[in-house]
Amino acid sequence: MHVLIVDDDEETLELVASTLRREGHRSTPATGPEEALRAVAAGEFDVIVLDVMLGQASGLELCAELRRREVQAPILFLSARGTVGARVDGLDAGGDDYLPKPFAVRELLARIRALGRRGPSLRPSVLRAGEVLLDFTARKAFVAGREVPVTAREWDVLRVLADARGRVVSFDDILERSWGEVSEKTRASLEVIMSRLRRKLDAGSERGLVRTVRGFGYALELEP
């Protein structure tokens, strides 16, 4: 596996690179956006490890630019900010996973391996199902051509389900990626949100947009 490491901290670069070497993987370091963009222009990577703060530059902006350039390698964000809002910002920018600093090396490796197995990130920017259209870039939802209001948290949940491309996502995975925690309170909030989404969107889909797998999770019923 070939991993691009983008971080302005030399110690972090060396730590991640040496860890990958011990596991038999290759890595390419980049200390900022310009180096990173040159690297992806020159070759392909299986995973990109990207720090959120790159000196005066933003890792979030770099991630968005990589996605605009159709770089599809999964992106793992590293950041000293571990709040729910920071995680959501990273996922909305086009990232696939988020690991707060300081991190355990074993967890870093496990997340990189998981992203490597997942393969290229093909996140849909527009999703259609029957008369439902979800535009994730503009954050606008339409049913039969009529725009319906969708809250920020509802978009977070829809993003997680859309990324699964019709596969079932467990309750805990949705909670971890959308709220950053799994608790009775967030479980109750998820149930309320799914009920609201059904009222807003299911009428525009022949089978209903949201499918529940009782006792496990949710999935979106997508068109072939």
Output the tens digit of pLDDT for each of the chain's 224 residues.
899 999 998 999 999 999 999 988 999 999 999 999 999 998 889 999 999 888 888 888 999 888 888 788 889 998 877 666 777 777 777 888 888 888 899 899 988 988 887 666 556 678 888 889 998 878 889 998 999 999 988 988 998 888 777 889 899 888 877 887 788 999 999 999 999 999 998 875 556 788 899 899 999 887 65
Contact present, 221 and 161 (Cβ < 8 Å) = no
For 6, counting Cβ atoms within 10 Å of its Cβ (0-12 exposed, 13-18 middle, 19+ buried), the class is buried
Domain count of the chain?
2
Among the candidates 97, 118, 139, a domain finishes at 118
Q: For 57, phi and psi rounded to 5 degrees?
A: -100, 165
Indicate the residue among 58, 84, 118 that finishes a domain: 118
Place of tokens 């902006």: 61
125-130 LR contacts (CB < 8 Å, sep 24+): 127/162, 127/220, 127/222, 128/223, 129/204, 129/205, 129/209, 129/220, 129/221, 129/222, 129/223, 130/204, 130/205, 130/206, 130/209, 130/223
**In 3D, which of 98, 116, 102, 97 has the Cα closest to residue 23?**
116
What gap in Å lies between CA 4 and CA 21, rounded to an integer?
13
Which run of H or of E encompasses 120? Answer: none
Cα–Cα nearest to 139, from 162, 171, 164 = 162
Residue 215: give its domain's CATH number: 1.10.10.10
* Domain range for 58: 2-118
- Identify the residue whose tokens are 């029957």: 130
Do 6 and 108 have their domain in common?
yes
Q: Are residues 97 and 160 in the same domain?
A: no
Are 210 and 166 in contact by the 8 Å Cβ rule? The answer is no
Contact partners, residue 57, CB within 8 Å, separation at least 6: 32, 33
114 & 143 share domain: no
Domain-ending residue, one of 73, 91, 118: 118
